[in-house]
Amino acid sequence: MWVISLVVSVVVLYVSNGSELPAVVVDQLKNLIPDDSSLSDQHLALSFLAGVMVAGTPLHTAVRYLSTVVHELGHAFTAGLLGGRPKNITIATNGSGLATYYPPITWGRFRASIVSLAGYPAPSIAAIAAVQAVQAGHAKAWFAFSAGTLALAILMLIRNFWGFMWTAGVVAASYFGARELNVQLLGWIVGGVAGYLAIEGFRNAWTQMTIVRFASGSGCDAEMVARWW
């Protein structure tokens, strides 16, 4: 799990930084996905705004589980990077989630705090990476990478029935979408998801603040960090 955490995290952070992919990686992607391309800046902006609008409508309740999965993967992959062993992820029907892991006995409060806080920037970082990937002409590759990451989460981390079924449905839809949809439409989907996740990053943080203010003792991430310190 440590290797998977490293690979996924490095790819996401590298792409979100706006750095160009190494030439050897670009060549491999061209061999694997020869029809990949980018969207125009105008179309990317429109797709991003469409995702933002979805986050502000009742449609949000139907897709909120995606941001929960990304949030919990942020916890899990960060734990793996810092030497912990991710155990499982639970996704509830109300949109909440829980990532558990085994921390080494050598861990102090600093690393434990980093893991607890890592889920909140995860959706926004994923959104930035998605936009950068589309602009660089790797819309279909990023679509496949995202679906592959969710598939790994199913195999290794997600164990409850609802989380498994919902994520498996997304992976299955992504598989057929990658086969049947043209690359421009996939770029629109990636841009829309990016806009949605960008808003969800703020919404998750606001929800955490609300829990701390009105439901003390809930065991939320912020309270865990407070107890360690």
How many Å apart are CA 207 and CA 151, to the nearest integer? 27
Which tokens sit at 29?
Answer: 């992607």
How many Å apart are CA 50 and CA 56, to the nearest integer? 10
- Convert the pLDDT of each residue in 136-161 to its tens digit: 999 999 999 999 999 999 999 998 99
How many Å apart are CA 162 and CA 155, to the nearest integer? 14
**pLDDT at position 19, please?**
84
Residues in the chain: 229
Among residues 26, 17, 2, 25, which one has the least CA distance to residue 77? Answer: 2
**pLDDT at position 199, please?**
92
- Convert the pLDDT of each residue in 18-60 to its tens digit: 888 888 988 888 898 888 988 899 999 999 999 999 998 888 8
- Convert the pLDDT of each residue in 73-130 to its tens digit: 999 999 999 989 999 999 998 888 899 998 888 888 899 999 999 999 999 999 999 9
Radius of gyration of the chain (CA): 18
pLDDT at 218 over 70: no
**pLDDT at position 223, please?**
83
- Convert the pLDDT of each residue in 157-216 to its tens digit: 998 999 999 999 999 999 998 888 999 999 999 999 999 999 988 888 888 888 877 777
**pLDDT at position 135, please?**
93
**pLDDT at position 222, please?**
83
How many Å apart are CA 47 and CA 187, to the nearest integer? 8
**pLDDT at position 124, please?**
93
Q: How far apart are the first and last CA of the chain?
A: 28
pLDDT-based confidence at residue 224 (cuts at 50, 70, 90): confident
